[in-house]
A = this chain, B = another copy of it.
Amino acid sequence: MGITPLRIGVLGSGSGTNCEAILQACERRELPAEVAIVISDVADAPILERARRRGIRAKFIGPSQFKTKLEPELEQRVVNWLQEARVGVVALAGYMRVVKTPLLDAFRGRMLNIHPSLLPSFPGLRAWEQALAYGVKVTGCTVHFVDAGVDAGPIILQEAVPVQEDDTPATLHQRIHEVEYQLYPAALRLFAEGRLQIEGRKVKITSS
């Protein structure tokens, strides 16, 4: 680690509970980093309020003509904000758009995402519902580096979550969330400590 702690940029579209877990891990010094900026594609997303409440820069991307991606100009604006905030790593936290070239190129190997399943099972939307519908008895969550695929980049950490007989989508999702709130800060901590080496599809975790 250098003299200044790692600066995290968070992108999200919703309530931002994973962002909250990251913020709290930083505040408790469990994660040697700070959140420098929070950016959302949804003007009134609660994730922005979590940043503002703490005096952290909060930015709305602005209306996009697309629903599942950003036009290159808007994505470039996101890159500019992240760079102005001297962000060392980007954490996607419930960001509901596919990341395209401008952002991918600017933060290749420095952008993480969390997904509510044990990838490669159940990529895409509402993974906990997919898991219940398939009838698995074990699901979980995955923190991975972001690449051009959907939920397909090299995996940093995974943790299993059992499916219970009486689970509904809501109860299963909540149980996965509780694990996510530990796993995402843990993965960011490994990144902050310089312990993640991407080797092809694999992420090697080196000793501290």
* A residues lining the B interface (CB < 8 Å): 118-122, 133-138, 140, 154-160, 165, 200-205
Report the minimal beta-carbon distance from A183 to chain B, rounded to whole angstroms: 10
B155–A203 touching, CB < 8 Å: no
A155–B133 touching, CB < 8 Å: no
Report the minimal beta-carbon distance from A84 to chain B, rounded to whole angstroms: 33
Q: Which residues of B sit under 8 angstroms from A154, Cβ to Cβ?
A: 135
Q: Give the one of A136, A137, A159, A203 with max B CB within 10 A.
A: A137
The 8 Å CB contact of A160, one of B122, B138, B200, is B138
Extra A-B contacts (5), CB below 8 Å, given A119-B121, A160-B160: A118-B136, A135-B202, A137-B156, A137-B157, A165-B205
B140–A158 touching, CB < 8 Å: no
Q: A121-B118, A160-B160 are in contact. Are A136 and B165 (CB under 8 A)?
A: no
CA–CA, A120 and B137, complex, Å: 11
B140–A160 touching, CB < 8 Å: yes
Q: Which residues of B sit under 8 angstroms from A135, Cβ to Cβ?
A: 154-155, 200-203
A117: nearest chain-B partner, CB-CB: B121
Q: Which residues of B sit under 8 angstroms from A156, Cβ to Cβ?
A: 137
A204–B165 touching, CB < 8 Å: yes
CA–CA, A135 and B158, complex, Å: 11
CA–CA, A98 and B183, complex, Å: 39
CA–CA, A202 and B133, complex, Å: 8
Q: Which residues of B sit under 8 angstroms from A201, Cβ to Cβ?
A: 133-135
Q: Which residues of B sit under 8 angstroms from A157, Cβ to Cβ?
A: 137
Report the minimal beta-carbon distance from A162 to chain B, rounded to whole angstroms: 8
CA–CA, A165 and B206, complex, Å: 9
A119: nearest chain-B partner, CB-CB: B136
Report the minimal beta-carbon distance from A8 to chain B, rounded to whole angstroms: 22
B121–A137 touching, CB < 8 Å: no
Q: Which residues of B sit under 8 angstroms from A120, Cβ to Cβ?
A: 121-122, 134, 136
A156: nearest chain-B partner, CB-CB: B137
A132: nearest chain-B partner, CB-CB: B202
